[in-house]
Structure 1
Amino acid sequence: MAHPIAHWANPHGSFYPVLVQRVGTRSILFTFEQVDDPAVRQTLVIDEQSGIAKRLVGYDHGLIITSIEPLKQCHLEEQPTFEPITRPFPTDY
């Protein structure tokens, strides 16, 4: 059954927003529910001051932005490095 609200598709199906709430002092938490199974949810945290998505947690993945550098400070010849999340990550909302 299709939901009347717009869907966002990913490899695990389509999702639609079910909750938007403030968390901490400067962040907004979006919760998305899977169209075919409401028990499957994903979350997205956006920093209100910068407008940057800082945290995305999905069905089988998570992405947490821990630092941001201005583009002019980046060296294009260097490959970015990403550390796996191996413990609970402290929140900074």
Structure 2
Amino acid sequence: MEVRFSGLLLRFTGYERTVTVKANTVGKALESLRQQFPQLGPVLWDGKGKLQRVHRLILNGEVISSNDRRALRDTDRLEFLTAVAGG
């Protein structure tokens, strides 16, 4: 399956916008990303292991919870959307 990053998160993926992971659930996909890009851990997840509130997880255009247990297909696309604050 394909995982897409944008904005500030690109710094933590070596500026790779699209990453392919082998996973059959959302949880396994997230764990694969943690292993592949350990520097993403403190940026995406809080100390309790929950996705930080400034990030949204989007599966095939639908906002989902990081605790979502649905099965994934190779054709699915997971994206991270990060809120940007300005002043």
Which one has a larger percent helix, Structure 1 or Structure 2?
2
Which one has a larger percent strand, Structure 1 or Structure 2?
1
What's the TM-score once normalised by structure 2's chain length?
Answer: 0.25
* Structure whose CA Rg is larger: 1
